[in-house]
Amino acid sequence: MENRSNIINLLYGSLPKMSDTDHKIAEVVLADPASIVNMTISALARKASVSEASVSRFCKNLDLDGFHQLKIELAKVAEDRYSYYQKVNPDDLLQALKNISDNKVAEIVNTLTSASTATIRQVLNALKRANLIQVAASGGTFPVAADAVYKFNQLGLLAVTDELWETSIGQTMNLPTGAVLLVISNSGETRNLLTQIEVAKSRGILVIAITNRADSPIGLNADLHILTAIRQQIFESEYYFSRVAAMAAIEALFLLLLSGDKDNLQHIKTHEELIAQTKI
């Protein structure tokens, strides 16, 4: 549990790879995390319709010492309203909008407050030193990559991306020594992005990943890994998706880079003056 500040983030991030039994236990825990703090292992087992041994294995699979440590970690966030997912019921539109708002705030708060400061410092240094930053993403996450490239270039950091993977992998093949590859993926499992990481690492290029799973293939293969927190569940299913958390991570890097060098602010002002000429 070292450097893990929120067990709820871990549970949401682990859901896609859980066994059916672990998934049943996780659903009970996530439905009311605070109540688990006062439960016995047998009570949780009964509520999840599993055995006590299954609950013990569930804890071990989360890299916890046992059920007691699970309760300790849940107690840390029991009163934190930003830890929990709020269901969205379209039949009550006003409440649905409030719950969506709460989920988005939870994603941002947990992404930014759970980040490892040591990792963030290494990422910032790598971006500042890079002679070229390639940002790669796939599908619905690509708008985050486009936003990152816009922001980095505004700061005076040369950055490129391309929505077409065939072009993007070509860019990776031509990255110069001293470049950085920044990969953004919710699941951390996109095969094309893993191929890009392999190509980049074979060329000695530093790889930074932004995903919502600590044990994702992309996260494990990256040199530096920023974890995002996801809360938005789609259609009452196991599918969790959000651009907000990744956008928040990029925004945070942008603001930290900006605050660390006054020359960056002048570069932004110059860029804004140039593009202002295109406006009526």
- Segment 204-218 shows an average pLDDT of 92
Shared-domain flag, residues 155 and 257 = yes
Q: How confident is the model at residue 235 (pLDDT cuts 50, 70, 90)?
A: very low
Q: Which of 8-17, 116-125, 182-191 has the lowest mean pLDDT?
A: 8-17
pLDDT at residue 115 tops 60: yes
User: Is residue 93 a part of any domain in this protein?
Assistant: no
User: Is residue 95 a part of any domain in this protein?
Assistant: no
The residues with which 207 forms a beta bridge, in sequence order, are 181
pLDDT at residue 192 tops 60: yes
User: Is residue 249 a part of any domain in this protein?
Assistant: yes
Global pTM value:
0.72
CA atoms of 7 and 63, how far apart (whole Å): 11
Radius of gyration of the chain (CA): 21
The residues with which 227 forms a beta bridge, in sequence order, are 211
- Segment 77-82 shows an average pLDDT of 65
User: Is residue 246 a part of any domain in this protein?
Assistant: yes
Res 52: pLDDT:
94
- Segment 192-218 shows an average pLDDT of 94
Shared-domain flag, residues 51 and 149 = no
The answer to whether the beta carbons of residues 58 and 30 sit under 8 Å apart is no
Shared-domain flag, residues 165 and 223 = yes
By residue range, what is the domain housing residue 77?
7-84
Considering only residues 49 and 242, tell me which one the structure prediction assigns the higher pLDDT. 49
User: Is residue 66 a part of any domain in this protein?
Assistant: yes
Nearest CA-CA partner of 235 in 95, 28, 93, 89: 89
CA atoms of 207 and 201, how far apart (whole Å): 7
Q: What's the pLDDT tens digit per position in 147-191?
A: 999 999 999 999 999 999 999 999 999 999 999 999 999 888 899
- 156: domain CATH number is 3.40.50.10490
- Segment 269-275 shows an average pLDDT of 84
- Segment 196-204 shows an average pLDDT of 97
CA atoms of 267 and 108, how far apart (whole Å): 27
* pLDDT > 70: percent of the chain: 89
Q: Which of 84, 100, 123 is the last residue of a domain?
A: 84
Handedness of CA 29, 35, 41, 46 (dihedral sign): negative
Res 157: pLDDT:
95
Shared-domain flag, residues 177 and 51 = no
User: Is residue 94 a part of any domain in this protein?
Assistant: no
Neighbours of 135 (CB within 10 A): 27
Shared-domain flag, residues 229 and 185 = yes
- 18: domain CATH number is 1.10.10.10
- Segment 211-235 shows an average pLDDT of 82
CA atoms of 46 and 10, how far apart (whole Å): 23
